Structure 1
């Protein structure tokens, strides 16, 4: 079971034109916006990465609008774990369960998940928050992450799993987000 005090959300490279041309772009961007809002309600730390923003552009506005006050971590490596700033910030959270959302599933998401698993983290891939330019590459990335020991979840499943109870202000706020 996902636990609030053990979980961190990691957003990978939801940027520029690439975010607009990936398979099921609008669906995935909407789901990532929802998981970011839910993570804020649940007070989960969020680590936000951008791959070479000077060349690829910045995080799409549909998501960036919910990340006010947060700063993206710039990277040029495919795996976020190869970025020293990311590792430092991840370790500073003290959390060992990583929810992953982003693009592309078979490259940056996969390599980040593989590294995290190697380093002893529990990885929960938000299956409705990852995509690639093609559905086939998305599927290959998901299958490889499963083979390595990652778990799959969805926005609605993980938010209610962390919430655990169907009452209170957080429950009401999450219910509004996912509808």
Structure 2
């Protein structure tokens, strides 16, 4: 059964970056490593550009999962940082849930590693808790397309919306007239083809 179109609202959304850790990133095989890192940082840039509340969390970072990738910590030095001592599902950590509630937002953008566990578990939990949940598919990674697709299906059946970081940016921005150079520059910084487009635009605008 089709559901009504619920679109992202920059005034009512928070971003949850779940377990983008140095050790876990080595498990990602459904994306090229450089492409995946670019996608993660693109989502982070979108969160920064639209000034979205952002929460960072790690799982058992003193173990093999490793520390959070440094770029995220540097981009969000004031963001809540929840180093979970052992909970696999971030939603099982009281501090994490409290940080989510403290944002006052009802829409959640979630990305992380790995897709079927670190992303799917809190996404499903958040849906159950009454949030509108959007998973950023290309800023989330896992072992292979089979496990990824199974996770996507499980989440979508529960009401999670699946989006790319590019779609997230477009839906938040809504109208090019809001900031052509700023938003276009963000896209160009992560998409070489869009960089060409912006260069062409700049030449025509002279």
| TM over 0.5, shorter chain | yes
**Structure 1 position 18 matched with structure 2 position 8:** no
| Residue deviations 1:107-142 (CA, integer Å, cap 9, x gap) | 121111110000000111111111112222111111
- Pairs within 5 Å for 1:104-115: 104-115=114-125
Is 2:78 aligned against 1:66? no
1:138-157 to structure 2, matched below 5 A, reads: 138-157=148-167
Aligned counterpart in structure 1 of residue 54 of structure 2, from 42, 46, 49: 46
**Deviation sequence 1:24-69 (CA, Å, 0-9, x none):** 2332221111111111010000011100111121112344332333
**Which one is further off, 100-109 or 167-176?**
167-176
| Counterpart-to-counterpart distance in 1, 2:114 and 2:135 | 12
Q: Which one scores higher on RCO, CA 8 angstroms, separation ≥ 6?
A: 1
| Contact 1:41-1:173 within 8 A present in 2 as well | no
| Structure ranking higher in strand proportion | 1
> Matched residues in 2 for 1:79 and 1:54: separation?
17
* Cα distance in 1, alignment partners of residues 34 and 113 from structure 2: 13
Name which of 45, 55, 80 aligns with 1:37: 45
CA RMSD of aligned residues (A): 1.7
Q: 1:87 to 1:103 in 2, by over 3 A?
A: same
Deviation of the 1:74 alpha carbon? 1.2
CA contact (8 A) 2:23 2:67 kept: no
Secondary structure of residue in 2 paired with 1:159? helix
Q: Does the residue aligned with 1:21 lie in a helix, a strand or coil?
A: coil
Alpha-carbon separation, structure 2, partners of 1:161 and 1:177: 18
Offset of 1:94 from its aligned partner?
0.7
For the 8 Å contact 2:24–2:114, the answer to whether it is kept is no
Q: Is the 8 Å Cα contact of residues 98 and 124 (structure 1) preserved in structure 2?
A: yes
Q: Which of these two proteins has the greater Rg computed from alpha carbons?
A: 2
Q: Do the aligned residues in 1 keep the contact of 2:107 with 2:131 (CA within 8 Å)? A: yes
TM-score (norm 1): 0.92
Return 5+ residue gaps in structure 1 as ranges. Answer: none
Q: Distance in 2 between matches of 1:46 and 1:111?
A: 18
